[in-house]
Structure 1
């Protein structure tokens, strides 16, 4: 309990995530550097960050050539649990609905 009293807010949530009995969905961000739209998208995602694990895939790396060929003109692109969700900008209404659908299935 000392840890919880010492750490409040997001830091405490990050610490507790590995011990959670529920597995959070994975939101994959296909990005490259630099990507101002990706940076903006990550800021927009902040209110949702406790509801998913964010995984970033740099499509400019040689091992991600498949994703480069597919998304080089469309980043940021988001997949939720491996399924295409949206591209170019974060659609907060859509993301909330997709996350709710997953949360309801797990309940």
Structure 2
């Protein structure tokens, strides 16, 4: 990922409503959320939500798909993953003892299939 692309994504997430919307969309994967439901969930008018979704979309963090009369938005987890890898790729200059706590903190949120199936 290029630095300019990462900066666009980080800039899009640096606003409270957009961050709340993105986090909600991540929690609602893979189903997504209709634009009107997003507006209600975060308590903003529909036209304001459209502006926020436009910013997130231009940053590549959300995708949209028309379902009949509504537009359903989803978090682009591949782009989010790329952003996180960009941020962490050179973590701690290769010192795993420093990065280990970060990895340990992330592991419980996403148990592997082997852990779940046991």
Same fold per TM (> 0.5)? no
Task: Return the structure number with greater strand share.
Answer: 1
Task: Return the structure number with greater helix share.
Answer: 2
Larger C-alpha radius of gyration, 1 or 2? 2
